[in-house]
A and B are shown apart, each in its own frame.
Chain A
Amino acid sequence: MQLSGNGRPSLMELRRGEHGVLDRIDLPADISQRLMELGFLPGSPVVAAGSAPGGDPRVFRVDGAEIALRRETASRLILRAPSSEP
């Protein structure tokens, strides 16, 4: 499996307080379905918030809620290239 398809940045590349726009989710259907229900939809802005004290899992702000994701999950949520941001 390719690392963050085509070298595109994932949520893991966001530093605390930074935001990006979600492009797609590189995960099996059932988990990506769950993530979409929680607000991780392609085109949604995501802000990196805090994290557990060790830095994993991390908390992201999306669609009015804060959701914690483990590192390996967050690295499969691929962001749009910054230029395509509105």
Chain B
Amino acid sequence: MSGCDDCALVGLHPVTTGNSAGVVAIIGPPNSGKSTLFNRLTGLRQKVANYPGVTVEQRVGSATLDSGREITLVDLPGVYSLSPRSEDEQVAHDILTGTMPDFPRPDAVLLILDSTNLGRHLMLAAPVLALGLPTIVILNMADDLKARGGEIDVQALSRQLGAPVVLASAARDEGLEGVWDFLAERSAPPAPVDASALETVPKCRAWAARLGKHASYQPPAPPLWTRRLDAVFLHPVWGPLIFVLVVVTVFQAIFAWARPLMDGVQTFITWSGNVVGAALPASPFRSLLIEGVWSGVGSVLVFLPQILVLFLFIGILEDSGYLARAALIADRTMARVGLQGKSFIPLLSAYACAVPAILATRTIENKRDRTATILIAPLMTCSARLPVYTLIIAAFLPERQVLGPLLGTRATAMLGLYLLGFLAAFATARVLKSSILKSERGAFVLEMPPYRRPTLRSLGLRLLDRSKIFLRRAGTVILAVAIVLWIFAHLPLVHGKLPAVEHSFAGRVGHAIEPAIRPLGFNWKIGVGLITSLAAREVIVGTLGTLYGMEPDARSRGLQQALRRDLTPAGAVALLVFFAFAMQCMSTIAVVRRETGGWKWPLIQFTYMTLLAYGGAFLAYRIVSALT
């Protein structure tokens, strides 16, 4: 068979025995449980979501067999067919046919299908089996099939397909023994597929129906709970109310309920810094460690609990299937600015981080809708802005109740900033979609998956993954910026002694740009922060921590008090507005370049957002100055 071609392509993998696979691809339609299976087999952290098309990157992991051998597993995007019409289908098609550059062609395929909707899902088996790669067919959600009274003769289906078939539940880790056996010793390539199944969709569906009939497939009863829940969640009155309530709850959770956790982390960082500082003799090294690293990295670490609470909520909404309903409810509103409900998921993800949001736009088939969504995503308030907002708001706004114990002044201010980003994003979308990205109102086609109970395992893996990404960033980018900044703030030496911040390199750069930012009410220290935060927004908090931490009289007062002394209320508002609009994130710029295939869009986006930030901050400073 094609084994020899594969050997050459997979040369980099240690394929020692001839009959076991080196690289195995997992493919299946959206919502078939692909990512859950991937998690089961690899244990690697992976986003699982009960929403069509959340897995948009090819995740790669490794599974260890009983023999101790390692197998590389590739999680492909969820697709309904292999005819490349969307980006997702293109990626799946290219990897499976070995035409993806720098990607070895898989040696074997795990085809996962939803056993509760087999008639339609079996259609994907035709093009996948026709590839001629050794393939195992996994009929997932076996527990759900059984609970709702469905049946399937696995042996008969296996005979019909000429490939091994197992009935399994990836979420419950049931029936996966056959999959491990397949990985250990992959079977022969499948029998050739009935050529008519590959011709047209109706012929393929008829082929799938014949297979189901031969395997005595008994579809399960309709999901009653999903229908009952939809009667509430899509109710003309309750539906929108619940939608608003969900959004408000998420915000309140991030800003009020995460507070005690954040205070705990803060106390620990301050205490540990004091302990370590007291144990070391006074030296430039102690200054670097405590004032540079500890306060710089520590001021960012405080926000870990808040970011985790946000991802916990997004995870619950995604895994339960509510997010698809939210997209349905949001579609009409999105259509008003020329977008569609499918843009809602990326834009909601953008509240956590613009990078996964921009990757999630791959499910939008309409190119112009997709570009517009990519361009406005960074205006949504991502979690990296939280540290900046929280610091400034806490420094300038006393906490009072607005709506009883449910909503305080600080949460209200925060909501206002979220609204500001949201309005800017939608105004931008409107302008884009009625000018350079104008297109016909595109079709909105979205599958409503059955509601499912989110598993602790999936949510836990997701949070662990987020923590790792955040801590890695704190340990690399933010640590590096903290150290570089400390060095720049302590050199050049004046008469062999450390200089005052004002006379250091950092101070000179800050002073140099001060004339440009003076109209916004910012001083040179904020200027240094604006420059360092080009790497990532939250870096400004660490920078200010370092800059103010170095001044003896500021150290005891805390960063908030120092800021209150240095910045007028108008300047504080201007700073918030600046951060709401500016595109200060290297990762976002890099991912936009990759996803739009060039520097054109990221450059336009960066220029636009910077001008918007400067103009907005200038106006805010003028207006608030006039009012106070």
Contact = CB atoms under 8 A, between A and B. Distances in A.
Interface of A: 27, 30-31, 33-39, 41-42, 49-54, 56-57, 59, 63-70, 72-73
B441 interface: yes
B447 A66 contact: yes
Given A64-B119, A65-B447, A53 B202 contact: no
Interface string B529-546: 000000000000000000
Interface stretch (B160-168, B325-333, B452-460): B325-333
Nearest to A27: B443
Size class of the contact patch on chain B: 35 or more
Given A31-B443, A53-B240, A59-B328, A37 B235 contact: no
A30 B440 CA distance: 15
Contacts of B236: 53
A37 B80 contact: yes
B448 interface: yes
Contacts of A70: 331, 335, 441, 443-444
B201 interface: yes
A73 B445 CA distance: 9
A69 B445 contact: yes
Interface of B: 80-81, 83, 85, 116-117, 119-120, 123, 201-202, 205, 219, 227, 230-231, 234-237, 239-240, 328-329, 331-332, 335, 341, 365, 441, 443-448
Query: Quick one: which of B236, B441, B443 has the most chain A CB within 10 A?
Result: B443
A57 B447 contact: no
Contact of A57 (B201, B239, B341): B341
Contacts of B231: 50
A30 B445 contact: no
A44 B509 CA distance: 69
A11 B384 CA distance: 45
B117 A65 contact: yes
A69 B444 contact: yes
Contacts of B445: 31, 34-35, 38, 67-69, 73
A21 to B, nearest CB: 14
Given A36-B202, A49-B230, 6 more contacts: A36-B201, A38-B120, A53-B235, A57-B446, A59-B234, A68-B444
Contacts of B85: 30, 33-34
Contact of B205 (A35, A41, A56, A73): A41
Contact of B448 (A33, A41, A68, A73): A68
A59 to B, nearest CB: 6
Contacts of B123: 37
Contact of B444 (A51, A57, A63): A57
A84 to B, nearest CB: 18
A66 B85 CA distance: 22
Contacts of A35: 445
Contacts of A56: 331-332
A3 B129 CA distance: 41
Cβ-closest 4 pairs across A and B: A36-B201, A66-B448, A37-B80, A64-B117
B80 A38 contact: yes
